Amino acid sequence: MPGPIDYSKITITPDFDTVEWWMGTKEHKYLVRQCKDCGHKWFPPFPACNKCNSMDLDWFETAGTGVLHSYIVVTQPILGAFVEAVPYVVGLIELDDCHEADGSLVRVGGVMLDDEEDVAIGLPVTVEFEQTNEANIVVPRWKISGTADNTWKFSE
């Protein structure tokens, strides 16, 4: 498991488009935007539906499960908050319940709770919400939750 992340060194400033998303993490909900008119889902929460241009929007609470689509292993920290965390894996997660008939899908990023050795593209993952050292910030982390066929690992 990666080392601690010091969220006192990041100022997260939700805006009018995103404040409800950040409130959702405090209730352990992984939300994506959903169009009330056509049902399309997307993330990050841009303020209009890019399929039908509706701005009449809702939130969809995902199951917080998905498949690891890609990942990186950060060995050199760039931000002060992550100096103690390296090496850490950032996963790109394809959410299970946001696939649409026309092929549209939603992928989100997050810091894995697993180490590099345990991570592979194609594995199922699930969200875990983490209370940070900043009282107001709860962040979603992701954890490998099972096995799969046809996985792929980066090898040097």
Residues of this chain that bind another protein (CB under 8 A): 5, 7-15, 18, 22, 42-44, 46, 50, 69-83, 85, 88, 90, 92, 103-111, 116, 121, 137, 139, 152, 154, 156
Q: How far is the CB of 30 from another protein (least distance, A)?
A: 12
Residue keyed to tokens 């009282």: 135
Smaller CB separation from another protein, 28 or 152: 152
Phi, psi dihedral angles at 109 (to 5 degrees): -105, 165
Q: How far is the CB of 147 from another protein (least distance, A)?
A: 18
Distance of CA 12 to the CA centre of its chain: 16
Q: How far is the CB of 25 from another protein (least distance, A)?
A: 10
Of 139, 128, 142, 119, the residue nearest 5 (C-alpha): 139
* Encoded amino acid at 91, one letter: G
